[in-house]
């Protein structure tokens, strides 16, 4: 009889949303900024997700993304709220 086995390297990791990560600084971060299946991304989501690591060397992007996400304007409701708070 012959027995074959395959080993897969595993790393302990966990995931959470950009909302949950607010206020945290993480030692290393892998960010997926692809368009979600439901809802959408805005500049605030991107800022929170990309600013969780202490620097660029600890930040990795999971996959390619649409660069036009960074060129979108803020929604009018957020701009009105910003004006109100100012």
61: phi then psi, degrees, rounded to nearest 5:
-100, 135
Q: What is the pLDDT of residue 60?
A: 92
**Cβ(35)–Cβ(63) below 8 Å:** no
Q: Which residues of the chain have pLDDT under 50?
A: none
Q: What is the pLDDT of residue 64?
A: 87
Return d(Cα 35, Cα 69) in angstroms, integer.
Answer: 9
The separation between CA 58 and the C-alpha centre of its own chain, rounded to angstroms, equals 13
State pTM to two decimals.
Answer: 0.63
Residues 6+ away with beta carbon under 8 Å from 28: 53, 58, 59, 60
**Shortest CA distance to 62 belongs to which of 25, 15, 22?**
15
């Amino acid at each position: 009889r012959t027995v074959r086995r395959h080993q897969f390297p595993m790393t302990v990791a966990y995931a959470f949303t950009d909302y949950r990560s607010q206020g945290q600084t993480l030692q290393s971060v892998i960010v997926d900024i692809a368009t979600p299946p439901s809802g959408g991304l805005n500049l605030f989501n991107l800022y929170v997700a990309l600013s969780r690591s202490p620097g660029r060397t600890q930040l990795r992007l999971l996959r390619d993304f649409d660069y036009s996400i960074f060129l979108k304007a803020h929604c009018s409701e957020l701009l009105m709220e910003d004006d109100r708070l100012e």
